[in-house]
Structure 1
Amino acid sequence: MSTFIIEGGHQLKGSIQPQGAKNEALQILCAVLLTPEIVTIHNIPDIVDVNKLISLLEKLGVKTKKIGSGSYTFQADEVNMKYLESAEFKEDGKGLRGSIMIVGPLLARFGKGYIPKPGGDKIGRRRVDTHFEGFINLGAKFRYNREDHFYGVEADRLKGAYMLLDEASVTGTANIVMAAVLAEGTTTIYNAACEPYLQQLCKMLNRMGAKISGVGSNMLVIDGVDALGGTEHRMLPDMIEIGSWIGLAAMTKSELTIKNVSWDDLGQIPNVFRKLGITVERDGDDIYIPAHKDGYEIQSYIDGSILTVADAPWPGFTPDLLSIVLVIATQARGAVLVHQKMFESRLFFVDKLIDMGAKIILCDPHRATVIGHDFKSSLKATTMTSPDIRAGISLLIAALSAKGTSTIHNIEQIDRGYERIDERLRAIGAKITRLS
């Protein structure tokens, strides 16, 4: 287990380049299983979760080759389906949430797909029903071994179908889309997720020869094809990391430029931070955050009532940034209600912030009210443990703004989603040390 030692209270300055998008990578990498031809992918983030998935693909027999920083070629022309029934796979697959998205491509191309109950963050229940209900709609037979929590789907040939998803699940939509592109006939997916990373997957599949229409809407229509070919794809910058750097700049009163953010794919993110009083300026495709020397003030609603920041399916505000919003609010002028609808354990990290001196009322597992200090009282350094990726980066931001030296244990959780974060933060002036 590794640890960060953070000396807080220092202003940062300079520019930072966001990594490739973690959540896009987990979808795109699974899609290489749909073709025996070479697929080249650029801007892959060098993070634990993505590297685990690449390792899983290699054990499945996918030939991988690193051709540059963040660039790989993949060729799935000799897939080892026997690996899916091995004890090793049952151990490897359950350690990564994104591993479930190998099922759709394998089912479509080879007629079967298996996965152990996937792991990932301990932020609450994360259902997989949407995935498997979609496969069943396409004609697959489903089975579940309760003793070792092992899922399986099998079909001789998938058949196109109309389906109304029970929720606009991003990974669920991605998995069903990857299965449907090789199904016989037409598949219509209503209440589909439509976030930018899912759009990226659909565009990539279309370049490979798929026929997907309605990309960017909540209704996808997919005309099945017999086979897909190779392609080249570049991933978007990670919008969650971009939001993290906006929060870091505000909390440390730092002047930062976030480079090449793909602004048009950020949706509500700039607007939500502006409602928290943060100046977010567009400079070409960069974001410029000036030093907030006089702090920042949370807006109220038009009628004067307290602002609520809540998550919602795209184009609503992403739940992955609510932890950042919560930390930013601890030093704002005013108050805000943070409403995390999706996961019932994601707000439990606020006790660490309360220990640091933050004024937070955890109303219930889904809602927290934050009363800002307006920088009149600094957060106090402390020792804490990172419970998940997004809470981990929020605690790191809190520590960088706090008075004194903080210690964060279990930083492997942060490494799961953020590439070389200590090196990149030191480059803009942060006092952060990694201890193994």
Structure 2
Amino acid sequence: MSTYIIEGGHRLSGSIKPQGAKNEALEVISATLLTSEPVTIHNVPNILDVINLINLLKAMRVKVDRLSEDTYRFQADDLDEDYISSADFVARCASLRGSVLVVGPLLARLGQAYFAKPGGDKIGRRRVDTHITGLSKLGAMIAYNEDRQAYYLVSVGGLKGCYMLLDEASVTGTANIVMAAALAKGTTTIYNAACEPYVQQLCKMLVKMGVKIDGIGSNLLSITGVDKLSGADHTILPDMIEVGSFIGMAAITRSELTIKDVSYDNLGIIPDSFRRLGINLERRGDDIFIPSQESYEIETNLDGSIPTIADAPWPGLTPDLLSVMLVTATQCRGSVLIHQKMFESRLFFVDRLIDMGAQIMLCDPHRAVVIGLDHKVPLRANKMHSPDIRAGIAMLIAAMSARGVSRIDNIDQIDRGYQAIDTRLNSIGACIHRRD
């Protein structure tokens, strides 16, 4: 288990560029299983979850060539069907959250797939019902394999397009169904589809590969399946979660920072959400400039009441940034209610922030009231343990602001979503030491 040792109190300066989007990378890399032709993907982040997914594809006998530091070519022209049905494959999938995204492509391409209960963050129950229900409506028959603790999906005579109304706008659920529908017979209509930029990017790549998709960017998608997909060349967007994390770091350390090449038009409500905390960020072309401020004042509601910042399906605020916004608010002036609707365990890390001197009232597993200290009482250094990716980066942000030297254990969780974050932050003024 690896550890970060963080000396707090250092201000950041200069510029930093976000990595490729983790969630998009998992989707488009999985989509390479749909074709036997080469697919080249650029701006692939070098993070643990992506590396593990690539290694899973290699084990499936996908040819993988690393053309440069962030560019890969995939060719799934000789899939090992015996391995894909093996216990080792199921066990690998169970340890990797992103493995859920290979189910749709394998079912469409080979007519069968195992659906292991995926691993990943310890942030409460994460439903897979949307995946199972959507794929069954396309014609998959589903049984539970007790020996392998996994669902087994099989399609007899191929998948067939249909109309479906999803019970929730699941990002990975929508992606899985869209990929399966790409090779289904006829047209599939998905209502209440997730429309995050990750899903939009996946759809745009599938269009390049020969699929007709209408409604990209909306919650109503229409996918006309084809018999065979061609290769494609695709570039992954910058990671919006990392962009938001850098905004929070700059604010809590009262730093002047430029975040380069953020694909601003794809950030949605994220910049305005941070502005609600009093952060005066500026758009400069495709960059974000955050000036140094000694104080950040949380905007109150028009009637003077405490504001609420809550997650919601896109174009609402992504739940992945609520942990960052919560820790940033601890050093703003004013109070705010953070409402995490989706996951019931994501706010439990606030106990560590309370130990550091933050004034936070945890109302229930989903809501926390933050009373900002306006840097009048700096956070104290602490020893912490990262339970998941987003809590881990929030703890790192808190430690960078704190007085003294903090320690964060289990940073492999942070590695799953952030590429060489210690090295990149140290280059702009942070003081973070890694112990492996």
User: For the Cα contact (< 8 Å) 1:143–1:151, is it kept in 2?
Assistant: yes
- Matched with 1:222 is 223
Q: What secondary structure does 1:362 align onto?
A: strand
SS of equivalent residue, structure 1 residue 334 = strand
1:381 touches 1:405 (CA, 8 Å); kept in 2? Answer: yes
After superposition, the C-alpha distances for 1:149-207 in whole angstroms (9 at most, x for unaligned) are 21121113101100000000000000000000111111100000001010000000000
CA contact (8 A) 2:7 2:399 kept: yes
CA-to-aligned-CA distance 1:360-388 (integer Å, 9 cap, x gap): 00000000000000100000001111110
CA deviation profile, 1:328-375 (whole Å, cap 9, x unmatched): 110010000000000000000000000000000000000000000010
Tell me how far apart the structure 1 counterparts of residues 202 and 148 of structure 2 sit (CA, whole Å): 31
CA–CA separation in structure 2 for the residues paired with 1:146 and 1:274: 50
- Report how far residue 58 of structure 1 moved: 0.4
1:8 matched residue in structure 2: 8
Which SS does the other structure have where 1:348 is aligned? coil
Q: How does 1:336-415 map to 2 (within 5 A)?
A: 336-415=336-415
Task: Identify the residue that residue 320 of structure 2 maps to in structure 1.
Answer: 320
Aligned residues with identical type, % of pairs = 65
Task: Give the Å deviation of 1:86.
Answer: 1.9
Residue 22 (structure 1) shift? 0.1
| Residue 190 (str. 1) matches residue 191 (str. 2) | yes
Q: Distance in 2 between matches of 1:196 and 1:280?
A: 22
**1:96-118 deviation line (CA, Å, top 9, x unaligned):** 11101101011111111113210
Q: Report the secondary structure of 1:326's partner residue.
A: helix
Between the aligned partners of 1:86 and 1:178, the Cα distance in structure 2 is 23
> Structure 2: how far apart are the matches of 1:412 and 1:139?
39
Residue 144 of structure 1: how far off its partner (Å): 1.5
Aligned to 2:78: 78
Q: Kindly indicate whether the alpha-carbon contact (under 8 Å) linking 2:85 and 2:113 is maintained by their aligned counterparts in 1.
A: no
Equivalent residue number for residue 25 of structure 2: 25
Query: 1:80 and 1:154 mapped to 2: Cα distance?
Result: 17
Whichever residue aligns with residue 222 of structure 1, its letter is I
Aligned residue identity for 2:272: N
Residue matched to 1:199: 200
Residue identity opposite 2:50 in structure 1: V
**How big is the shift at 1:317?**
0.2
Instruction: Please state whether the residue corresponding to 2:9 is helix, strand or coil.
Output: coil
Q: CA deviation at 1:90?
A: 2.2
Find the counterpart in structure 1 of residue 249 from structure 2. 248
**CA-to-partner distance for each residue in 1:1-30, whole Å, 9 max, x for gaps?**
111000000111010000000000010000
Which residue does 2:270 correspond to in 1? 269
Distance 2:86 2:114 in 1: 11
CA distance in 1, matches of 2:314, 2:132: 22
Corresponding position of 1:149:
149
- Whether the 8 Å contact between 1:84 and 1:115 is mirrored in structure 2 is no
How far did 1:305 drift? 1.1
Q: Give the C-alpha shift of residue 87 in structure 1.
A: 2.4
Partner of 2:94: 94
> Deviation per CA, 1:373-432, whole angstroms, max 9, x where unpaired?
010000000111111000000000000000000011100000000000110011001111
- Look up the match of 1:161: 162
Which secondary structure state, in structure 2, belongs to the residue aligned with residue 57 of structure 1?
helix
Question: Which residue of 2 is the match for residue 281 of structure 1?
Answer: 282
SS at 2:46's partner residue? coil
Secondary structure at 1:257 match in 2: strand
Unaligned runs of 5+ in 1: none
CA distance in 2, matches of 1:238, 1:206: 22
Paired residues, number: 435
Coordinate RMSD, CA, aligned:
0.7
Q: Secondary structure at the match of 1:347?
A: coil
1:422 aligns with 2:422: yes
1:298-346 deviations in whole A, cap 9, x for unaligned? Answer: 0011111111000000000000000001001100100000000000000
Structure 2 SS opposite 1:372? strand
Contact 2:95 2:119 in 1 (8 A): yes
The equivalent residue for 1:258 is 259
Q: Distance in 2 between matches of 1:232 and 1:161?
A: 29
Asked whether 1:434 is paired with 2:431, we answer: no
With 114-123 and 30-39 compared, the bigger mean Cα shift is at: 114-123
Q: Is the 8 A contact 2:115 2:153 kept in 1?
A: no
Greater shift in the superposed pair: 91-100 or 312-321: 91-100
Of stretches 333-342 and 139-148 in structure 1, the one that deviates more from structure 2 is 139-148
Query: CA shift at 1:147, angstroms?
Result: 4.9
- The one-letter amino acid paired with 1:302 is L
- Structure 1 residue matching 2:373: 3-state secondary structure: coil
